[in-house]
Amino acid sequence: RRCCAVIIMKSLALILLFQIYGQSLSQNATRPNIVMVMSDAFDGRLTFDPGSRVVQLPYVNYLRELGTTFLNAYTNSPICCPSRAAMWSGQFVHHTQSWNNYKCLDANATTWMDLLEANGYLTKMMGKLDYTSGSHSVSNRVEAWTRDVQFLLRQEPRPVAQLVGNMSTMRIMRKDWENIDKATNWIHQRAAPSHQPFALYVGLNLPHPYRTESMGPTAGGSTFRTSPYWLGKVSSELITVPKWLPLDSMHPVDYYSTFTKNCSGVFTEEEVRSIRAFYYAMCAEADAMLGRVISALRETGLLNNTVVIFTADHGELAMEHRQFYKMSMFEGSSHVPLLIMGPGLRSGLQVKQLVSLVDLYPTVLDIAGLSPVGALSGHSLFPWLSKASAFSKKEHPDWVLSEYHGCNVNASTYMLRSGRWKYIAYADGLSVPPQLFDLTVDKEELHNVSPKFQDVRAHLDKLLRSIVDYPKVSTAVHLYNKKAFTAWRNGVGRNYSQVIANLRWHVDWQKDPLANEKAIDKWLNVHSLKPSTSSQLMLHWLQQANTAMQTQAIEFIVKSTV
């Protein structure tokens, strides 16, 4: 009897294990693999016409033809860490308090990748992650903290184009290519033999500009570098030279950004064309890396059961609005690519719905058949992707929110895109004038029609305030900046003067270091500096600008835009 009982117990255990294993196999067989490739600084307008004509992007086109392209996808913050923090958490920036590249998510924050792993997915993250607190340079964080100080200092090297190699030189961004090699090896050696569904994230640095080494160890990235091979992918005759407003007609926040990005001097038309051509060539190299990942999936027979997502943390202005880099709500900076292809998903579809990076968290979970944990800022995009007609569309807001609180901008910035309108509010909404653009007739965003359409402005401001109490958030950021800077200065101790004088702004700082330190002391000692004083600060910054340089620049702009 005892022997029979043992046999029966083992048989029941085997049956139970078989049932569990069989359910697991069945579940895994129906759950698709998920691969996300996230580029850095990739202009989303290059993924559809007419932008897609200027550079050959065969693998972006592949995703566009076999998947869904979101034509109006935006970053939730036009800078690396806060943007990625929003994507990984599904939360708006003011919820995570990701104020700059230094302050983002806690290391133990739950991401959608964590939830996939907890629910049976084999997971791997490689390349540029950049979403937790504590990263990036000292310069980057100090510049963000001191943006209310009454000085105007160039914080970036002048943007330049640099040609390297020859027609056979393909691997320019070597670190990215190393990560792509690791990703393809992981697909072949780990994902393919596994019986689990897998999720792979690959973060690229391209087409982010390279560090300008001639400016020393603290220099930022202002070098657009590529080879003749990638330049051959660019249709030079289609490169446009963007129109610029005269410096004295720019919005004060845009002027501050232009100056601190070292773009207020004179640029020839050839320089602007070259920077833009090199940027597009860098996008072509990033596209080739995406292609390597897609090829590895095809070679292993995994592509037919894999959802592939291509997106970016933000765009690149590439000399639009007399700026490079990001940190702006203009389309070149805030509009990101979003293409999704996979089994059971629609092909060749172009979706006009306004979406943003926070929507990827619930979308990925929806694809995996999982429910999100807690409240999210984003909404699943699966209803637009799925072929299943029985799947009804959940409500998705008809607006997107982006906000920015970091360096190279001297006021917290909030962008609400709704329908044809883009509304941009600053600080407390009173001291700095807002901007309003009608994107249907002003794609270049050169005409602020806020004074003309006051009813539209009032409606959008009311909607924005219903989403985020932005004056309150601006005040919180202002207080954080003072507290964080004070803690940093105390930590540096007696070396403070030397350290702060040799950050990225060292060229301008060292013209009068004592005056600059006094300006910081004055800022710190004003205990209740209200956001309403920012207009006076901006006037001070404008007055500091070199008049002769402005005159030369304005004359050049007039000649080049007539």
- pLDDT tens series, the chain, 562 aa: 444 443 334 343 333 333 333 333 333 457 999 999 999 999 999 999 999 999 999 999 999 999 999 999 999 999 999 999 999 999 999 999 999 999 999 999 999 999 999 999 999 999 999 999 988 889 999 999 999 999 999 999 999 999 999 999 999 999 999 999 999 999 999 999 998 999 999 999 999 999 998 777 777 889 999 999 999 999 999 999 999 999 999 999 999 999 999 999 999 999 999 999 999 999 999 999 999 999 999 999 999 999 999 999 999 999 999 999 999 999 999 999 999 999 999 999 999 999 999 999 999 999 999 998 889 999 999 999 998 744 455 579 999 999 999 999 999 999 999 999 999 999 999 999 999 999 999 999 999 999 999 999 999 999 999 999 999 999 999 999 999 999 999 999 999 999 999 999 999 999 999 999 999 999 999 754 444 344 455 455 445 544 434 433 333 333 333 2
Spans of all domains in the chain: 34-141+171-206+270-391
Q: Of the listed 80, 81, 104, 263, which one is catalytic?
A: 80
Q: Where are the alpha helices (DSSP H) in 232-268?
A: 252-260
**283 in active site:** no
CA distance 378 to 362: 7
- DSSP 8-class letter at 71: E
Q: What is the pTM of this model?
A: 0.90
CA distance 255 to 263: 10
Asked if 326 and 264 count as a contact pair (C-beta separation under 8 A), the reply is no
- DSSP 8-class letter at 472: H
Which tokens hold the place of 33? 């693999």
Asked if 57 and 48 count as a contact pair (C-beta separation under 8 A), the reply is no
- The full DSSP string for 272-290 is HHHHHHHHHHHHHHHHHHH
Question: Which strand (E) or helix (H) includes residue 306?
Answer: strand 306-312
CA distance 89 to 115: 11
Architecture of domain 34-141+171-206+270-391: 3-Layer(aba) Sandwich (3.40)
